[in-house]
Chains A and B, each alone.
Chain A
Amino acid sequence: MKAVYSGDLMRNSRVIQDNEVEPLTRTTGAGETLRRRSEVEEQIKEALTLDAVALEQRRSVRDYRSAGFIKPEAIVYMIRRSLALGDDDSVNRLSTALVGQLTRMVAGKVRILSPNLRDDCHSEIVVRVFADIVDLSTDRADYAQVSFGDWLEKRAVDSIRKCWKEHTQSQITDSLTSEDEGSDEDAAGPEGRDFRSSELRPEEYGLFIDKALSVLKDNEREAFIMRHFWEWEIENADPSIPTISTRFGKSARTIRNWLASADKKIKTWRDRRGT
């Protein structure tokens, strides 16, 4: 059996055997060491026995319902193993396969953002995901081998938060006008509750996010999502409760005006569509 020294795993100064699947090392908050699901472990062992042609065929399967689909958790392990073994060719092929699997997933998540921010944020998520995977000096990517979907989601949220903070915040600062702080007579009630996301039918949800929210300015869109999809309050006497007002550093009146403006635009959009 071939045994090779793993340069990148030199912190352990150990040798990886051909068919050995190294256990995860990261521990949870409760002090338990993370473990891969048994089906992931089996897929890795199987993949290590496949010849290059068979593996290539399996890697090209993108539909997770297909029998030959290699789970992203297994691909992450194999990328790290190939990096440790200095097998650049495999690293490139496996990374391409993983990109193929996550493209639609990421594109789905960045729909929360306005269309002009989606592409940059998509790139940001891809970079965050792979930066952790290829960093062999840490076992941070162990989570990705336990539940890739959750791990990806966490990175997507981080990136979307960053995009919002950088973009919307600068836009608010740039375009601050007196109308933001002006009269709130147009506001739709004290809490702007004309719309409820729970009233959207499942088939409407994506369309609403893509089309209806695109008629809003970025600050209105973000405030509208927080109010109607996250159900955050505009303000709260308890400072420990996150509110839209504190999130933007704006008065409750300003937020109400943004929401009133957003509600009006959404109502017009819905009236035009007859929904």
Chain B
Amino acid sequence: MKEKSEMDDILNEFTTDFKAQGDKALEQYVREYPEFTEVLYEHAGMSRMFRHLPEAEMTTEEEELRALKSVSLVQNLLHERRTQMNATAENEALDFNSLRGRLDERNVTYETAAADLRLSPLILKLLDKRKVRPGSLPRLLLEKLSGILETNFETTYAYFSLKPVPSGGFYRADSAPTFPAQSEFADLVKYDPDLSPTDKDYWIALPTIEKE
């Protein structure tokens, strides 16, 4: 039994070949794929009819109504896809222990990654501890970082959207751990002593995710 996708490919090719060669193509495909004989005959039969059937005559209103219904179906599909992707990204973000860990797995140091990204290692460390407000990050940074980490945009963004790594709260500490306030990415860039003015301008000029 052929895989479903393989059957799909065969019928895609058959549709094109049947249009060009007619019954000769039907005979050839039936010979090659006897297990699909009935499907091939049905495709051939309908293909012959489509050739003679003109596009439907519809009033503008009928066409628009039908198109609206189709657009709504497509929106549902896209919504389902987004929901599924967000769920996947959240799951992956939970496995994404730390930025440092992901870099180590790829034999990339903070310093190398920072140089590639035109950022300082200090900012990368703050990002790792999620001490930067995610909405203040430029999309390009997340995309570039995703490339380095060999993951997708959604996963990287989901990781930075988790709660900041708590400060304090060490074993038998006097106080409970606290979640530090998050900084704005642009502020970190502006006051970073290790970044060149060109790199500062580069990052500050980019729109943040929330301002896109």
Which A residues are within 8 Å of any B CB, using their own CB? 2-5, 7-8, 10, 13-15, 26, 28-29, 86, 88, 91-92, 95-96, 99-100, 103-105, 107-109, 111-112, 122-123, 126-127, 130-131, 134-135, 138, 140, 143, 147, 150-151, 153-154, 156-158, 160-161, 200, 202, 205-206, 209, 225-226, 229-232, 240-242, 247
CB distance from B55 to the nearest CB of A (A): 4
Which residues does chain A contribute within 8 Å of B77, judged by CB atoms? 127, 130-131, 134
CB pair A134–B67 under 8 Å, yes or no, is no
Query: What per-residue 1/0 map shows which CB atoms of B140-154 lie under 8 Å from chain A?
Result: 100110110011111
How long is the Cα–Cα vector from A86 to B81 in the complex, in angstroms? 12
In the complex, what residue of chain A is closest to B16 when comparing beta carbons?
A150
Residues on B lying within 8 angstroms of A by beta carbon are: 5, 8-13, 15-16, 19, 34, 37-39, 41-50, 52-58, 63, 66-67, 69-71, 73-75, 77-78, 81-82, 140, 143-144, 146-147, 150-155
Q: Is the CB of A130 within 8 A of B74?
A: yes
Q: Are A103 and B66 in contact (CB under 8 A)?
A: yes
Structural contact, B37 and A5, CB atoms closer than 8 A: no
Q: How far apart are B68's CB and chain A's nearest CB, in angstroms?
A: 9
- 10 of the cross-chain contacts (CB-CB < 8 Å) are A10-B150, A88-B82, A92-B78, A104-B55, A108-B50, A156-B50, A205-B52, A229-B49, A242-B37, A242-B38
A119 to B81 alpha-carbon distance, docked (Å): 24
Q: Taking each of B10, B57, B58, which has the highest tally of chain A beta carbons within 10 Å of its own beta carbon?
A: B57
Q: Judge whether A247 and B38 touch: CB under 8 Å.
A: yes
Question: Contact at A229–B37, with CB atoms within 8 Å?
Answer: no
Among the listed B19, B69, B146, which residue makes an inter-chain contact with A123, where contact means beta carbons less than 8 Å apart? B69
Whether B78 contacts A157 by the Cβ 8 Å rule is: no
List of B residues within 8 angstroms of A91 by Cβ: 78
Chain B residues near A4: list those with CB within 8 A: 140, 143
> Which B residues touch A154, using CB under 8 A?
8, 11-12, 15, 43
Q: Is the CB of A242 within 8 A of B41?
A: yes
Check B63–A150 contact: CB distance below 8 A.
no
Asked whether, in the complex, the Cβ of A123 is within 8 Å of the Cβ of B41, the reply is: no
Given contacts A108-B50, A123-B73, 13 further A-B contacts (CB under 8 A): A3-B144, A5-B146, A7-B155, A100-B67, A108-B55, A109-B53, A111-B56, A122-B70, A123-B69, A143-B12, A230-B41, A231-B45, A247-B38
Question: How many contacting A-B pairs (Cβ < 8 A)?
Answer: 159
Q: Which residues of A lie under 8 Å from residue B11 when comparing CB positions?
A: 154, 157-158
The A interface, classified by DSSP as helix, strand, loop or mixed, is helix
Q: Which residues of B contact A103 (CB under 8 A)?
A: 58, 63, 66-67, 70
CA distance A124 to B120 in the complex (A): 53
Evaluate contact between B53 and A99: CB separation under 8 angstroms: no
A200 CB to nearest chain B CB (Å): 8
B37: chain A residues within 8 A (beta carbon):
240-242
Q: How far is the CB of B9 from chain A (nearest CB, A)?
A: 7
Q: Are B147 and A13 in contact (CB under 8 A)?
A: yes
CB < 8 Å: which of B41, B50, B66, B78 contacts A95? B78
CB–CB B43/A86 < 8 A: no
Contact present for B150 and A13 (CB under 8 Å): yes
Q: Which of A10, A104, A143 contacts B151 (CB 8 A)?
A: A10
Contacts of A10 in B (CB 8 A): 150-152
Residues of A with C-beta under 8 A to B15: 150-151, 153-154, 157
